[in-house]
Structures are given as structure tokens and as C-alpha cells.
A and B are shown apart, each in its own frame.
Chain A
């Protein structure tokens, strides 16, 4: 039987134990509260952004890991590097779009966000990266009701 799925049997990893956030020693309310790697990771996995074709979260599939997030709050810059589960994953652009939408909705508007697939993990890496970082194409995609529905479904809170 043909399932029609792009990746029928994805490897599912156990969710990693969260790195405990160290409690602030002093409570200087004027101290800058900078957005860091863990916070971005939390934004991206807290509602378990789901793989478009599996019930697993992107964290469980190791599509995104904490290490793949670079953030520089002072420069208002975030780069997320994700790893598609298979080299020919046609869902890569949808996953990338979900990550971008989640960050647009969560971060202050001053942030510049770059999304890319990990080098060497996708057959059409350059094309996927170019599309994900063309804001005109992203804007047009987000006016497409079918795509928006797909993105919203991936981003829907599951609290599982």
C-alpha cells in the first residue's frame, strides 16, 4: 500500500530535557532582559509546531534544535537553521514558512529573521532558502487561504 507520505517512517527522538533557566540573582528592574537562544527555541517549540504530515513536533523529529538557533538581541537578529527529515522533503518550504510566521507573531517587529535549511540537508537547498527569505513571496503565500490554513494547523496549540 502506498501511503502517499513523503517520509513514511520518520525517526522520532525523545524530547530533550529543558535546560533550566538560571534564576536571576539580582532583581534589577532596569537591567536589559535580552532575548536569547533558549527563548527563541521555546517560542518555536512551546506549542509543538507539528510536522505538516505527522503528529510529531519539529522538536521530536529534530527538525529544529536549540543549537540551530542563532540570536543577537542587541543587533535584533535571529537565524534559524532547520533540518528537513528527508533530502527531498517537499514540505521544507511549508516548515520554513511556519517557523517564520511563528517568529513574526512572537518577536518584536525590530527583529530581522533569516530562515534556512541546514547546509547539505536538502536537494534544492539554495532554491528553498531563496524562497523562504523573499519577503514578497512570503507575503503572497500568506494571502493564500489554503497555505494559511496549513500554517495555522501546524502552529495550532496542542499542549501534548
Chain B
């Protein structure tokens, strides 16, 4: 039973439960829609494998491929290239594997080595020309995609003082954001003159930042806001009215704290994702999924966000990942320590 805060019939209905992984599922990625190809979802797990799920014509999701025997430890993160033809997977085995969709098979075409130990996140830039990885070695690596499935490391970014949990690219600019166990959020951009990458902003506690590990971040579709989630049980919304790549002079520059959503989750918030229609989903160690929307009625203190729906017991254990589908924005996928993935449909939202 959903507890909706809207008084309307907003419902998050479970469509299907995908079983197959034999350990916790850490992360999910919807494939960008490919012309003439059914929708696909990738998942990665503590069982060292990646699974590719595909929707059949009858609307049922089936496991189409299991990518194993490549990573030797937990696969922590997966990301599709914008073209939908490549999949990158980051593993605790210190490598990032690049898979190419050839016909209906996935071939491992490259293995990126360089991190000292666990790689925790991988992300493609919107242009598909750059790849970022981060890990326990406190570093963020930027790779350039070159012809012939070559990946050249163009920068190793040091700045975080503890392991880096996640990296995400801005939806339109070549700006990268990283979040860390050191409680901070860092914004990185290329210096126009020297081709070198620099940290242009750090959002720490002095800038209304998080007071514990920041686990994830997500941009809204236009890229003028981002949301972060943390072990401090809050979500924070950040806003930039300026160009996100603009170097800030002060310590709290271009990105500014807009609001903090607290008092909702009871345990660590591991995942947050902003839908193309503006709904924020969060998944946490309290086994629940929550949805938030901008509160447009609020006239008191400007912009704020409110709880739209709370799905208690969305999974039997921690929810590690929530991802909205970009093409069908009412479709949500979630992954859990219980080893399952769930596909949900949100209904009752008046747009």
C-alpha cells in the first residue's frame, strides 16, 4: 500500500520482479533506446556478473545475457554509452570493462586498468567521447574514447581525501561531479587553455553540504539542478543559475544549496535519480523507495520539494539503486541486497 501525500491516486505498482543474480544487486542502467531494438536494462552484482534484461513483445522482462568470467570481484557499477552500443562495467577487481553489442552478443573489447584497487563508479559523458571512473584510491580518472576501442587516460584527478563513491557527467556540458566518503561533492571541468582538468568547486559542510558519506547524485534533465543523497539520511538539492562550467571564485560558487530533504529516510540513502519529468526517486537502507516533486504551491520560502509517495518494503532488504527510464518516464527500476530487481510503473501523476 502506497502512502501518497497528494490525496490523488498516485501509485507505484510493481510490474515484475527479476531474479537471477545470486548476490546483492548494486547498480542498474537502462539502455538508451536503440531503433528497432526492444528496451534493455543492465544490472551488476556482488556475484561478479552483469546481466542484460530485455523486454519481450508480450511485455515480460527476460534475462538476455549474463556477462561473467571477466570480472573477478564484485561489479559495482554499470553505464551505457549514449549510443547504446557500448556498456562499461566497474569492478572491485580494479578494472573497468568495456562491452560492445555485436549483433545480439556482448563482447568485452577493452579493459581499463589504472586504479589501485576497487573501482566504484563509471559514467559516460553525453557526447560519448569521455568516460570517468572513480574508486577507493581517492582518485577520479578521465578517459578519452578513441577509434578502435582505445581508451586513453587524459587526467587523474586528486582532491578527495577518501574513497570516491560515484561520478556523473552534466547532461550537456563536459562537467563532471564526484561524491565521496569524505562527505564532499566536487565539480570538475576542463581548463580551456591547458586542456587540464581542475576541481572548480567543492560543496562541503561549510556550503550546507552533507555531514556523512555522499553516496550518489543525479542531474535534472536541463542540468541546472542536481540532487545528492547521503549516509546523513538526507537528500540535498543544488542549483546553478550560472553556467555549470564557470569557475567560481569563492569556495561556494556556481552551485548553491537550494534545499535539504530530511526526516524521510530512516537509514542511509544509497541512490537517487531525477526523472526526465522532474520526479526524484530515492532508494535507501530502510528498504523503501520514496518519490519527491517540486512543491509549486509553496509561496513562503521560494522553491522546495515535497514527498509525493513512499513505498515501504519496496524490497526485502536495502535498496541500492533506483533508475527512471528515459523514454518511458513512468517506468522505474530498483535493485536490492535481496538479489532482485523490480520494475515499477508510476501512475496517477497529472503532468
Q: Note all chain A residues with C-beta closer than 8 A to B337.
A: 109
A34 within 8 A of B: no
Q: Is the beta-carbon distance between A134 and B118 smaller than 8 angstroms?
A: no
Size of A's binding interface in residues, CB under 8 A: 12
Binding-face segment, A5-13, A18-26, A79-87, A136-144: A136-144
Interface residues of B in 100-138 (CB under 8 A from A): 118, 120, 136
Q: Note all chain B residues with C-beta closer than 8 A to A130.
A: 181, 212-213, 231
B74 within 8 A of A: yes
Q: How far is the CA of A137 from the CA of B76 in the complex (A)?
A: 12
Asked, given contacts A109-B316, A130-B212, A130-B213, whether A136 binds B120 with beta carbons under 8 Å apart, the answer is yes
Q: How far is the CA of A136 from the CA of B92 in the complex (A)?
A: 10
Closest chain-A Cβ to B163's Cβ sits at a distance in Å of: 8
A74 within 8 A of B: no
A112 within 8 A of B: yes
B267 within 8 A of A: yes
A110 within 8 A of B: yes
B338 within 8 A of A: yes
Q: How far is the CA of A47 from the CA of B267 in the complex (A)?
A: 31
Q: How far is the CA of A47 from the CA of B259 in the complex (A)?
A: 49
Q: Note all chain B residues with C-beta closer than 8 A to A137.
A: 163
Asked, given contacts A109-B316, A110-B316, A134-B181, whether A140 binds B212 with beta carbons under 8 Å apart, the answer is no
- Which residue among A130, A133, A136 has the maximum number of chain B CB atoms within 10 Å of its CB? A136
Q: How far is the CA of A143 from the CA of B120 in the complex (A)?
A: 14
Closest chain-B Cβ to A131's Cβ sits at a distance in Å of: 9
Q: Is the beta-carbon distance between B73 and A143 smaller than 8 angstroms?
A: yes
A135 within 8 A of B: yes
Choice from B46, B73, B76, B285 contacting A112 with Cβ under 8 Å: B285
Choice from B73, B76, B120, B317 contacting A109 with Cβ under 8 Å: B317
Q: Is the beta-carbon distance between B213 and A140 smaller than 8 angstroms?
A: no
Q: Is the beta-carbon distance between A143 and B74 smaller than 8 angstroms?
A: yes
Q: How far is the CA of A137 from the CA of B213 in the complex (A)?
A: 12
Q: How far is the CA of A109 from the CA of B316 in the complex (A)?
A: 8
Q: Is the beta-carbon distance between A112 and B267 smaller than 8 angstroms?
A: yes
Q: Note all chain B residues with C-beta closer than 8 A to A109.
A: 316-317, 337-338
Asked, given contacts A130-B213, A134-B213, A135-B318, whether A140 binds B92 with beta carbons under 8 Å apart, the answer is yes
Q: Is the beta-carbon distance between A139 and B318 smaller than 8 angstroms?
A: no
Q: How far is the CA of A110 from the CA of B337 in the complex (A)?
A: 10
Q: How far is the CA of A137 from the CA of B268 in the complex (A)?
A: 14
Closest chain-A Cβ to B22's Cβ sits at a distance in Å of: 14
Closest chain-A Cβ to B44's Cβ sits at a distance in Å of: 13
Bits for B290-330, please: 1 = Cβ < 8 Å to A, else 0: 00000000000000000000000000111000000000000
B165 within 8 A of A: yes
Q: Note all chain A residues with C-beta closer than 8 A to B73.
A: 143
Interface residues of B in 127-174 (CB under 8 A from A): 136, 163, 165
Would you give 30 A-B contacts (Cβ < 8 Å), ordered by A?
A: A109-B316, A109-B317, A109-B337, A109-B338, A110-B316, A110-B317, A112-B285, A130-B181, A130-B212, A130-B213, A130-B231, A133-B231, A134-B181, A134-B213, A134-B231, A135-B318, A136-B76, A136-B120, A137-B163, A139-B24, A139-B46, A139-B74, A139-B92, A140-B74, A140-B92, A140-B118, A140-B136, A143-B73, A143-B74, A143-B92
Chain B interfacial positions (CB closer than 8 Å to A): 24, 46, 73-74, 76, 92, 118, 120, 136, 163, 165, 181, 212-213, 231, 267, 285, 316-318, 337-338
Q: What 7 A-B pairs come out closest when comparing CB atoms?
A: A143-B73, A140-B118, A140-B92, A109-B317, A143-B92, A139-B74, A139-B46
Supplied contacts A143-B73, A143-B92, 18 more A-B pairs, CB within 8 Å? A109-B316, A109-B317, A109-B337, A109-B338, A110-B316, A130-B181, A130-B212, A130-B213, A135-B285, A135-B318, A136-B120, A137-B163, A139-B24, A139-B92, A140-B74, A140-B92, A140-B136, A143-B74
